[in-house]
Structure formats: C-alpha cells, structure tokens
Amino acid sequence: MIARNFHRLRQLFVPLLALIYFSLTATALQAAPKAELWPVWQPVTRAERSELPDFKIWQSFLDRYVKPYEDGLNRVDYARVTAADKQQLKNLLAGLANTDPRGWGPATQKTFWINTYNLAVVSLVLDHYPLESIRDIRLSFKSLFNGGPWEDKYLTVAGEALSLNDIEHRILRPIWPDRRLHFALNCASVGCPNLATQIYKTETLDQQLDAAEQDFLKNNRAVFWQPRENTLQLSSIFDWYQVDFARNENQLLSYLQQQGVLSTEVLQNPDLKISYDYNWNLNTDR
C-alpha cells in the first residue's frame, strides 16, 4: 500500500516539478540580467599593482583547438583536447585567484575580464564534456533555475568567488557600457558570436572589438532576412540586451542599417515581421 501511494505521488509531483523547472528556465533565458555594478570591482586610482597574467597558454589553446568554418562559425575541438592542455587551462584560471586588476588602466582591465570570461567558459565546458549544450551543466541548485551555470561561482579573482554573470553583468557591462562586449564574450554555443582565435590585447582592444562586431553581424546567426515570409530573424542577443544597442526596436533596426547589414528595402517593407532566435547547441566541430 505504501509503495503504491508513493508511486501515485511521484506520478503527480514529478511532472509538476518538471513544469515549474522549465517555466523558470524559460523565464530566465528571456530576461537577461541587468547591468548592476558590484562595487568591490570599481576601478581604483591607487592600488598595489599585481603582475599582469600571462595568457599565452590560452592563446596556445586557441591556436590548437579553435578552427574557423566556411559557415562563419569558429568551432572548438573539445573532443581532442588532451588532459595536459585541459589542466593547463585550469591552472591558468586558478592562478587568477591572487590577481587584482582594479589598479590597472581601464583598457587593460577590460581586456583582462574578456579573456578571463572566455577562458572560464571553455574550461567549464571541458570539465563536463561530452555534452550537447552549456545549459546542461548543473553546478548547484541555482543552475536548475538559470538555464545553465551562469550564476554558479566557478572561478576566483583577487580572493573573490565569481560567476560568469558576475563578470558580464556586474563588472564589464556596468563599468564599460560597450555594445561590442556582446560580440567578444563567448558562451560556447552555435548562436553566440565567435570565440576569437586570438586573445584580446590591451593595445589592440578597440580594433579587435570592432572586428568581432562586424564578424558576427555579417553572419546569418545575427541577421537573416526571409523574403518569402517577410520575416527578419535576429539573434536573441538583440532582444535580451536591446538596452545596450538602442532605446527601442526601431532604433535597433536603424543600428543594423548603419552597420550595413540591413537594407532600406527591408525596413520599408509594410509587412515586415521580426523574430528572435538563438541556437544553444555546443560550438563543437564533432
């Protein structure tokens, strides 16, 4: 009798919990976090300068395992990564625990955080590979309600435990409001702007960010006009982070036109429909 009742309760509650989970996950993905500064990371004018981290190991990894494909997507050969190379990335990430970037110049800090974010994402994927999507990674209970490991504390910098969302939404976006950040940060997904094959460098940061923007915008993952359906399909990045690109959707379309990826003919189409899409499949080449 007890076993039978337990079975009935399980039949009742498991689908309910699943429904709640998927509803919360969908909501989390539709509403991106706001840019809200974590005050402790506010740059300071006077501080003890720690030594700049050496990202040569990260560059070696990119040289060996990231390959551009004809469809415009840079794919990562996660399956071929050796145990030694995986450990080198983890060691590099662990070494940032004693690095304090707050006393560096603004461009150097910004460069550091972009490289650190991308390094952390790839290291995180390698920790759980094989998998179909980064959203399948569950590091804590938080992961169940955030559509992936975005809120989980995965790395440490200057003695502070950080999540990927901390870096993007509590450090980079509020300190350096720059739409191009969305084209430089990679989330290990097909729909995401490319993981760059070159590390970001302070002296060439602006040129690299400009190049990342243009690289993504010219790809169908960003802007795809479907004339038969009168539908303009845009990356969900422009929906989630519209505030970083424009005040409203009309201004967003003007931005895309100014960037040369949207024609006046499309904009003046009286039947124009706009949709948003994003492919969360892993950016692997296998």
* pLDDT tens digits, one per residue of 192-245: 999 999 999 999 999 999 999 999 999 999 999 999 999 999 999 999 999 999
The answer to whether residue 278 is domain-embedded is no
Please tell me whether residues 17 and 148 are part of one structural domain.
no
Please tell me whether residues 16 and 51 are part of one structural domain.
no
Please tell me whether residues 110 and 23 are part of one structural domain.
no
Record the pTM: 0.89
> What local confidence, expressed as pLDDT, does residue 29 receive?
47
Please tell me whether residues 2 and 96 are part of one structural domain.
no
> What local confidence, expressed as pLDDT, does residue 174 receive?
97
Percent of the chain with pLDDT over 70: 85
| Boundary residue ending a domain (177, 200, 223) | 200
Dist CA 241 CA 216 (whole Å): 15
The answer to whether residue 242 is domain-embedded is no
The answer to whether residue 46 is domain-embedded is yes
Domain enclosing residue 58, as ranges: 39-200
Residue owning tokens 């060691």 = 91
Please tell me whether residues 24 and 78 are part of one structural domain.
no
Please tell me whether residues 26 and 80 are part of one structural domain.
no
> What local confidence, expressed as pLDDT, does residue 173 receive?
98
- Residue 53 is encoded by which pair of tokens? 């981290």
Please tell me whether residues 150 and 8 are part of one structural domain.
no
> What local confidence, expressed as pLDDT, does residue 285 receive?
86
Please tell me whether residues 11 and 51 are part of one structural domain.
no
Taking phi first (over 0 means left), then psi (-120 to 50 degrees means alpha), and beta for anything else, what does residue 5 get?
A: alpha
Number of structural domains (the chain) is 2
The answer to whether residue 130 is domain-embedded is yes
Q: Which residues contact 80 (CB under 8 A, 6 or more apart)?
A: 65
Please tell me whether residues 9 and 26 are part of one structural domain.
yes
Which of 14-18, 87-91, 115-119, 168-172 is predicted least confidently? 14-18
> What local confidence, expressed as pLDDT, does residue 20 receive?
41
The answer to whether residue 251 is domain-embedded is no
Please tell me whether residues 12 and 152 are part of one structural domain.
no
Q: 47-87: per-residue pLDDT in tens?
A: 555 567 899 999 999 999 999 999 999 999 999 999 999 99
